[in-house]
Amino acid sequence: MKPSQLFQTALTPDDLHTFFHEVRQTSERLGEPLSDADATVQSMPDASPAKWHLAHTTWFFEAMVLKPYVPSYEPFDEDFNFLFNSYYETLGARQPRPRRGMITRPALSQILDYRKHVDDALDSLLRTGSDRRIAELVELGCHHEQQHQELLLTDLLHLFAQNPLHPAYRDPGPVDVETADLPPLSFTEFDGAIVEVGHGSVGFAYDSEGPRHRALVEPFRLANRLVTNAEWADFIDDGGYKKSLLWLSEGWAKVQAEGWSEPLYWEERFGQNWTTTLRGFQPLDPAAPVTHISYFEADAFATWSGKRLPTEIEWETAAQGIAIQGNFLDTHRLRPKPASPHLGGLQQMFGDVWEWTRSAFSPYPRFRAVEGAVGEYNGKFMSGQFVLRGGSCVTPPGHIRASYRNFFPGHARWQFSGLRLAEDA
C-alpha cells in the first residue's frame, strides 16, 4: 500500500467544493462571538489563541496547495509563513508555540481578510478542476480545519476558565438534563478473536489510521456507558487523589506537583460542585460523563474500580457496526450529555467525550509516513502519547470514524476527555 492512498478522496469535485466552503464557514461562525481580545490571548503553552487557529488553518491551504500548485498565486503576507506555521520543519522557521499569544498584530479583522484571500484563490482552483493530488490535499486541509475547530473551542474554554467572571462563550444558562437516575454500569462481553482494524474503506482517513491489519483480541468486557460525574465524586470521596497505590508513577508525580484533587474546571460553590463550561459556570450534572481528566486520572479511577481502560483495538472492535451518532458540535449543547437510562447495549461510543484507551500512540504494522511536508502530520508524534477514541461534544459531525485515533500526552486535561471501563472476560 502506498502511503498516499491513506488520504484518498472519494468526493466528487462538486462535493469537495461544497465541503470546503462548509468547513470554512463553520470556523468563521465559531469565531463570531469573540472579541479581538478573546481571540488573541493564550492561556497556557499547550493552547493556542482562536485568532491563531483561524489563521493557521488558512496558512495550511496556502502552504500545502496554493504555493506549490498555483504559480500565479500571490501570498497575502509573506510574514504569515513564520507566524502561522505550526510544526512543519520542512516549511521554515515559526513563532514558538508558547508565544503565539504575543501575536497581537495582525488584528482579527485582518485574519478574516486573509481567510477571504485564500478562499477566493482556492475557489478558483476548485472551479477550474484539479488533479487527484490537489483534491487529496484540499480534503486533508478540510479535515485538518475541523480538528482546529474543536481545538479552538477547547482552548477557548481553558481561557475563559481563567477569568474570575467565568464568561460564557455562547448561550449562558442551565442546560436541560436527564432527571432519571442511571442504573449501575453493565458490561457487554466480546469473544477473543483475530480481528481486522484500521481504516480500510473508500474515502478519507488520516495516515495514522492505517494500514488496516489483523490483531489478536483476548476475550473482554466493555462498559455500556461512560463513567459519570457522580461516580467520579465517589472516587474523590474515597480518597482517590490521595492513594499513591492507585496511580502510575508519572501520574502520582503530577498529582503531587500540581495539586490535583478533582477534574479540571471543577469548583465547589454553594455547597455543591460547579464547573466551567462553554455555556458559562454551571452546576455539575451528576449523571453526565466526567470530562477534562488526564490519562493518569482515568487509569487511577479504573484501578480503584477494579477494572481497567480498554485497548484501542478492543474499543474499535466494539464500535464496528455501531452507527456514528451522538452528541457532537451540531447539537449546540457544548457539554457532555447523560446516557439514556432506558436503552440497552453500548451507549455514547461516539460524541460526548473522547475516551482514553490504555494504548500508546504508535504506528500500525506496515505504516509509512506520507511523502513531503504532510508526512510530518502524524508520524512524528508517535512517541509518548496515548490514544483516545470516539469524539466529543465539540467534534464536528462527519469528522469522526470508528478507526479515528486521537492522541494526547498522559497529563493533558483541557480536552473533553473521559473514560469507559473495561475488564478481562
Q: 220, 281 in Cβ contact below 8 A? A: no
Is the same domain home to 121 and 225? Answer: no
pLDDT for residue 87? 85
**Separation of alpha carbons 251 and 112, rounded Å:** 41
pLDDT for residue 180? 66
Tell whether the model's pLDDT for residue 123 goes beyond 90: yes
Tell whether the model's pLDDT for residue 230 goes beyond 80: yes
pLDDT for residue 217? 97
Give the CATH number for residue 132.
1.20.120
Is the same domain home to 210 and 350? Answer: yes
Select the more confidently predicted residue: 342 or 34.
34
pLDDT for residue 2? 45
Give domain status of residue 308, yes or no: yes
Give domain status of residue 172, yes or no: no
Tell whether the model's pLDDT for residue 9 goes beyond 90: no
Give domain status of residue 362, yes or no: yes
Cell 463513567 -> residue = 227
Tell me the average pLDDT across 202-218.
93
Tell whether the model's pLDDT for residue 6 goes beyond 60: no
Q: 224, 395 in Cβ contact below 8 A? A: no
Mean pLDDT computed over every residue of the chain: 93
Give domain status of residue 180, yes or no: no
Tell me the average pLDDT across 359-375.
86
Is the same domain home to 234 and 348? Answer: yes
**Separation of alpha carbons 11 and 9, rounded Å:** 6
2 contacts: CB under 8 Å, gap ≥ 6: none
Tell whether the model's pLDDT for residue 10 goes beyond 90: no
Is the same domain home to 156 and 301? Answer: no
pLDDT for residue 200? 83
Band of the pLDDT at 125, cuts 50, 70, 90? very high
Tell me the average pLDDT across 306-332.
97
pLDDT for residue 78? 95
Q: Is 366 exposed, middle or buried (0-12, 13-18, 19+ CB in 10 A)?
A: exposed
What type of residue sits at position 305? Answer: S
Q: How many domains does the chain have?
A: 2
Select the more confidently predicted residue: 8 or 203.
203
Tell whether the model's pLDDT for residue 308 goes beyond 50: yes
Is the same domain home to 149 and 245? Answer: no
Is the same domain home to 152 and 287? Answer: no
Is the same domain home to 202 and 101? Answer: no
Give domain status of residue 182, yes or no: no
| Whether the bond into 211 is cis, omega within 30 of 0 | yes
Is the same domain home to 364 and 262? Answer: yes
Range of the domain at 130: 3-161
Tell whether the model's pLDDT for residue 5 goes beyond 50: no
Tell me the average pLDDT across 417-423.
98
pLDDT for residue 118? 98
Give domain status of residue 181, yes or no: no
pLDDT for residue 343? 85
Give domain status of residue 177, yes or no: no
Is the same domain home to 377 and 278? Answer: yes
Give the CATH number for residue 334.
3.90.1580.10
Is the same domain home to 142 and 271? Answer: no
Q: What percent of the chain has pLDDT over 90?
A: 84
Tell whether the model's pLDDT for residue 15 goes beyond 90: yes
Tell whether the model's pLDDT for residue 405 goes beyond 80: yes
Lowest mean pLDDT among 90-94, 200-204, 259-263, 305-309: 200-204
What type of residue sits at position 355? Answer: E
Is the same domain home to 74 and 39? Answer: yes
Tell whether the model's pLDDT for residue 97 goes beyond 70: yes
Q: 142, 19 in Cβ contact below 8 A? A: yes
pLDDT for residue 4? 41
Select the more confidently predicted residue: 227 or 172.
227
Tell me the average pLDDT across 259-264.
98
Give the global pTM: 0.95
Domain boundary (145, 161, 177) is at 161
Tell me the average pLDDT across 128-149.
92
Give domain status of residue 171, yes or no: no
Tell me the average pLDDT across 71-93.
93
| SS3 labels along the chain | CCHHHHHCCCCCHHHHHHHHHHHHHHHHHHHCCCCHHHHHCCCCCCCCCHHHHHHHHHHHHHHHHHHHHCCCCCCCCCCHHHHHCCCCHHHCCCCCHHHHHHCCCCCHHHHHHHHHHHHHHHHHHHHCCCCHHHHHHHHHHHHHHHHHHHHHHHHHHHHHHCCCCCCCCCCCCCCCCCCCCCCCCCEEEECCEEEEECCCCCCCCCHHHCCCEEEEECCEEEECCCCEHHHHHHHHHCCCCCCHHHCCHHHHHHHHHHCCCCCCCEEEECCEEEEEECCEEEECCCCCECCCCCHHHHHHHHHHHCCECCCHHHHHHHHCCCCCCCECHHHCCCCCCCCCCCCCCCCCCCECCEEEEEEECCCCCCCCCCCCHHHHCCHHHCCCCEEEECCCCCCCCCCCCCCCCEEECCCCCCCCEECCCEEEC
pLDDT for residue 178? 60
Tell whether the model's pLDDT for residue 190 goes beyond 60: yes
**Separation of alpha carbons 142 and 9, rounded Å:** 12
Domain boundary (127, 161, 195) is at 161
Band of the pLDDT at 88, cuts 50, 70, 90? confident
Band of the pLDDT at 270, cuts 50, 70, 90? confident
Handedness of CA 297, 300, 304, 307 (dihedral sign): positive
pLDDT for residue 115? 98
Q: What percent of the chain has pLDDT over 70?
A: 96
407 contacts: CB under 8 Å, gap ≥ 6: 208, 361, 381, 385, 386, 387, 388
Is the same domain home to 106 and 217? Answer: no
